[in-house]
């Protein structure tokens, strides 16, 4: 996987309107840009499909505390083992027409969708950040968020085996020197994906220079401090909301898994990035809730209590912040000036 994201690059000035020009805020500064060869695209896509297949195993087993190593892949209906030639990402699903070879039970469309989505996110990470360890870390972050998004949507569970290592890795990556796409003149040690040794945003968001898009003064703390403060701040905010909901309603309205996921977002994205991700998650959840509440109720029946997977919206907010954070904030704060 690592070699996929550490391919050679060429120095090139992006054309006006190109993706790199938009996200770095410069249309003329030299930046690293990938040569989009078909072979390179195929390698990254295949890696994404393979990791997507593994992610499906994690999604199916980890929320239920089952091992991802044993037993081997099998049909959940008839328990028959799946042969290697029936376990090729996307291809086997199409050849089998979406049914088990043994019992002909329909296979959930979640399997090919997750595989395709993982491949798409891997490609997006490498095209967006350029070749190097920046793209590798962005792909890891995307892998974690996609898995948590689907797990919470399916069973309202966010396993510690994803969230807790994700928090630790998020803090650790803020200490690493990272190579890849950089804005306004290259990388240096400190915040990953940033050309500043002490980027106030910290974490992944440093590559997009998120703090520079806001009209507010931001302290220039090192990236690892931004990562720790982002994790602690995001988790504390959700813990406070959870406690207030309990005081008012005398029932739990949010699980601790959502709190840990918020900490994961803060560890990877820093304070500013986590703030944007949480805001986007709340807006998306509210929009989804309004749409569901607007649906007509069946005559003679009471409307069931509305339950939304907050973790799925938090994950989606994190992905939007990673790939679209700076343009979104630039658009928003233009109304402040």
CB contact burial 231-250 (16+ within 10 A = b; e otherwise): bebbbebbbebbeeeeeeee
pLDDT, mean of residues 25-32:
35
| pLDDT of the residue at 75 | 87
| Cα dihedral across residues 141, 147, 152, 153: positive or negative | positive
- Give me the number of domains the chain comprises: 1
pLDDT, mean of residues 85-108:
92
pLDDT, mean of residues 308-336:
90
- Is it the case that residue 85 has pLDDT exceeding 50? yes
102 lies in a domain? Answer: no
Residue 56: CB atoms within 10 Å:
22
- Is it the case that residue 23 has pLDDT exceeding 90? no
pLDDT, mean of residues 36-65:
91
- Is it the case that residue 261 has pLDDT exceeding 60? yes
pLDDT, mean of residues 314-320:
97
Beta strands 10-12 and 31-33 are antiparallel
Rounded CA separation 105/135 (Å): 38
List alpha helices for the chain, DSSP H.
2-5, 19-24, 38-61, 91-95, 110-129, 133-155, 160-173, 223-249, 256-294, 310-333
Q: What is the residue-wise DSSP string for 241-276?
A: HHHHHHHHHSS--S-HHHHHHHHHHHHHHHHHHHHH
Q: What is the pTM of this model?
A: 0.83
- Is it the case that residue 18 has pLDDT exceeding 50? no
- Closest by alpha carbon to 266, among 195, 178, 204? 204
Cβ neighbors of 180 (< 8 A, separation 6 or more) are: 32, 129, 130, 131, 132, 133, 134, 135, 187, 193, 207
| pLDDT of the residue at 5 | 61
pLDDT band at 207 (very low <50, low <70, confident <90, very high): low
Residue of 204 and 236 predicted with greater confidence:
236
- Is it the case that residue 39 has pLDDT exceeding 90? no
pLDDT band at 133 (very low <50, low <70, confident <90, very high): confident
- Is it the case that residue 41 has pLDDT exceeding 60? yes
Contact (Cβ atoms closer than 8 angstroms) between residue 261 and residue 151: no
Which of these ranges, 45-59, 127-141, 312-326, has the smallest mean pLDDT?
127-141
Rounded CA separation 266/279 (Å): 13
78 lies in a domain? Answer: no
Residue of 129 and 154 predicted with greater confidence:
154
pLDDT, mean of residues 32-44:
70
Residue of 292 and 143 predicted with greater confidence:
143
pLDDT band at 199 (very low <50, low <70, confident <90, very high): very low
Cis peptide before 159 (omega within 30 of 0): no
- Is it the case that residue 217 has pLDDT exceeding 60? yes
pLDDT band at 186 (very low <50, low <70, confident <90, very high): very low
| pLDDT of the residue at 79 | 85
- Is it the case that residue 88 has pLDDT exceeding 80? yes
pLDDT, mean of residues 6-28:
37
**In which domain, by residue range, is 175 found?**
2-32+116-296+307-333
Q: What is the mean pLDDT of the chain?
A: 80
pLDDT, mean of residues 157-181:
87
Work out the percent of the chain whose per-residue pLDDT is above 90: 48
42 lies in a domain? Answer: no
Work out the percent of the chain whose per-residue pLDDT is above 70: 75
- Is it the case that residue 220 has pLDDT exceeding 80? no
Rounded CA separation 139/118 (Å): 9
321 lies in a domain? Answer: yes
- Is it the case that residue 178 has pLDDT exceeding 90? no
| pLDDT of the residue at 286 | 95
94 lies in a domain? Answer: no
The vertex-48 CA angle with 42 and 52, nearest 5°, equals 145
243 lies in a domain? Answer: yes
Give the best-scoring range by mean pLDDT among 48-57, 97-106, 178-187, 220-229.
48-57
């Amino acid at each position: 996987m690592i070699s996929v994201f550490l391919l050679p690059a060429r120095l090139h000035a992006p054309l006006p309107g190109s993706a790199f020009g938009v996200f770095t805020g410069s249309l003329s500064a030299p930046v690293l840009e990938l040569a989009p060869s078909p072979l390179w695209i195929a390698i990254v896509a295949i890696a994404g499909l393979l990791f997507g297949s593994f992610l499906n195993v994690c999604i199916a087993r980890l929320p239920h505390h089952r091992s991802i190593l044993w037993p081997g892949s099998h049909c959940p209906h008839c328990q028959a083992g799946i042969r290697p030639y029936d376990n090729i990402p996307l291809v086997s699903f199409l050849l089998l027409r979406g049914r088990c070879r043994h019992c002909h039970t329909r296979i959930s469309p979640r399997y090919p969708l997750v595989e395709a989505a993982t491949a798409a996110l891997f490609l997006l990470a490498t095209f967006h950040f350029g070749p190097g360890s920046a793209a590798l870390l962005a792909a890891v972050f995307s892998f974690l968020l996609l898995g948590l998004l689907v797990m919470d949507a399916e069973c309202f569970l966010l396993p510690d085996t994803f969230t807790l290592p994700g928090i630790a890795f998020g803090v650790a990556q803020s200490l690493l020197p990272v190579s890849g796409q950089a804005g306004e003149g290259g990388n240096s040690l400190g915040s990953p994906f940033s050309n500043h040794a002490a980027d106030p945003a910290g974490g992944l968001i440093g590559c997009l220079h998120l703090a520079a898009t806001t009209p507010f003064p931001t302290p220039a703390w090192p990236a690892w401090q931004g990562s720790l403060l982002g994790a602690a701040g995001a988790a504390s905010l959700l813990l406070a909301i959870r406690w207030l909901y309990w005081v008012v309603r005398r029932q739990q309205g949010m699980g601790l898994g959502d709190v840990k996921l918020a900490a994961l977002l803060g560890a990877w994205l820093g304070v500013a990035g986590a703030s944007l991700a949480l805001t986007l998650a709340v807006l998306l959840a509210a929009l989804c809730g309004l749409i569901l509440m607007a649906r007509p109720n069946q005559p003679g029946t009471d409307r069931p209590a509305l339950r939304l997977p907050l973790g799925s919206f938090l994950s989606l907010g994190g992905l939007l912040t990673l790939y679209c954070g700076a343009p979104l904030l630039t658009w928003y704060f233009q109304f402040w000036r």
